[in-house]
Amino acid sequence: MPAVKRVVRHAALGTAVALLITLQATPAAWADRTTTSGTSKDANGGRNGRTMYVQTKVQTTVSGNSTTAKTGSLSSTDANWTPPACWYEPAFSPKEIEATVKLWRSIDGLPFLGGVGDFVGDTLDHRYKDGHPYKDYNLDKQGEGMFWAAVVNPNRKDDPEASACDKPPFWVDNGDTPDEPLALTPQVLAEYAYDELPVPDTEIKMAPAETTKVNLPTWIWLDKAKFKKISVTASLPGTGLSATTTAEPVSLHIEPGTRDARTYPASGDCEINADGSIGEPYEKGRANDTPPCGVTYLRASGSGNSYPLKATVTWKISWTSTTGEGGDLPDGTFGATQDVTVQEIQSVNR
């Protein structure tokens, strides 16, 4: 085939596959392409730049602290690592590909769509029926494998890396692992589960609350039992393949919002207590004591101003899987900022 025709054919295939995948009205091919995390949520398929993708079949379940509501996503402490933005997973059986082509060919009778159905059908048939490279949709291999397709992590659909999975659906025999670095593996499942960890908020308690005084220790603490191990299991239904990612809180880091402050401990890192609490609640009569977790401001914030005190919890992350694979993933952090007004101590002379 001349080079120009090959380019045209490739471009047409890309358009056809994108149309195939974004056709949400195709019940045979798009059933059960959802992600669940505690409660169901859509992970809609579509097109992101050059990426053609379906809705993921991967499911997630949360354990360890059933009362935790997700308030945000962890940020990796490794600036060079993030959970995957896309991957390839089993998506279509041979019969589903065939049914989708037939559905496209059936729409030519609809207004404004004359010729579109046959164009898409012809282009898909060139790849999946006519031997370039698949013949007769691989119907003779029904039940022996699946066509794998690109999936975009619904938490990272706007990331530039989401366009990295730009291959049209390709065949993989059951039990085989595709020779593709972005193919779904236990570690990819674990890394996706990282994105689904329901970390609690880090709104701290302080005494004095909101407004404190220069050179007066401010006690900081978080309630017990709030920071416990949390696990998310990501699984691919029907395969027995799953990976469990576990987050364990290890410390709370305090950033006072100004250099004119002293933290306790000096590092600003308050350890997590055995019961899941951080620091100690303030008790009356201990205003001048050194708190196990806290801060002393050395300068007033000024009239009408405040300091942005940030509290960030660091979580240690590990994973296991049904294949026996496992290990550590980069630590994650999640924090919150609250304003603290610092006033001078007023004295009265008589």
pLDDT tens profile 283-338: 988 888 899 999 999 999 988 899 999 999 999 999 999 999 999 999 999 998 99
The more confidently predicted of residues 126 and 109 is 126
* 172 and 280 in a common domain: no
* 169 and 215 in a common domain: no
What is the per-residue pLDDT for 274? 83
* 220 and 174 in a common domain: no
Domain boundary pick from 181, 216, 241: 181
Contacts of 327 (CB under 8 A, 6+ apart): 318, 319
* 139 and 277 in a common domain: no
* 106 and 158 in a common domain: yes
Which of 43, 312, 22, 37 is CA-nearest to residue 156?
43
* 215 and 176 in a common domain: no
* 164 and 222 in a common domain: no
What is the per-residue pLDDT for 49? 37
In degrees, rounded to 5, the angle at the alpha carbon of residue 308 between the alpha carbons of residues 255 and 259 is 50
Cα–Cα distance, 47 to 125 (Å, whole number)? 21
Q: Is residue 90 part of a domain?
A: yes
pLDDT of 155 > 70? The answer is: yes
pLDDT of 9 > 50? The answer is: no
Q: What is the mean pLDDT of residues 198-202?
A: 82
* 275 and 165 in a common domain: no
Domain boundary pick from 146, 181, 216: 181
What is the per-residue pLDDT for 153? 92
Q: Enter the pTM of the model.
A: 0.79
* 177 and 241 in a common domain: no
The values of phi and psi at residue 138, to 5°, are 60, 30
Contacts of 221 (CB under 8 A, 6+ apart): 204, 205, 277, 278, 279, 280, 281, 282, 293
Look over the chain and give the mean of its residue pLDDT values, rounded to a whole number. 82
Domain boundary pick from 112, 146, 181: 181
Cα–Cα distance, 97 to 241 (Å, whole number)? 24
Q: Is residue 322 part of a domain?
A: yes
Q: What is the mean pLDDT of residues 65-76?
A: 67
Q: What is the mean pLDDT of residues 120-145?
A: 95
* 155 and 52 in a common domain: yes
Supply the range of the domain harboring residue 119: 3-36+43-58+85-181
* 160 and 232 in a common domain: no
Q: Is residue 79 part of a domain?
A: no
Six-digit token string for 103: 């559905």
Q: Is residue 190 part of a domain?
A: no
Q: Is residue 66 part of a domain?
A: no
Contacts of 64 (CB under 8 A, 6+ apart): 228, 229, 230, 231, 246
Q: What's the domain count of the chain? A: 2
Q: What is the mean pLDDT of residues 17-38?
A: 37
Consecutive H or E run containing 46: strand 46-48
What is the per-residue pLDDT for 51? 38
Q: Is residue 23 part of a domain?
A: yes
Q: Is residue 187 part of a domain?
A: no
The more confidently predicted of residues 147 and 15 is 147
Task: Tell me the per-residue pLDDT of 243-282, one tens digit each, with 9 for 90 and over.
Answer: 999 999 889 999 999 999 999 999 999 988 888 889 999 9
Cα–Cα distance, 86 to 89 (Å, whole number)? 10
pLDDT of 22 > 80? The answer is: no
326-343 and 211-213 as β-strands: parallel, antiparallel, unpaired? Answer: parallel
Which pLDDT band, with edges at 50, 70 and 90, does 53 fall under?
Answer: low
Distances (CA, A) of 219 to 70, 210, 274, 295: 27, 11, 19, 7
* 148 and 25 in a common domain: yes
pLDDT of 342 > 70? The answer is: yes
Q: Is residue 157 part of a domain?
A: yes
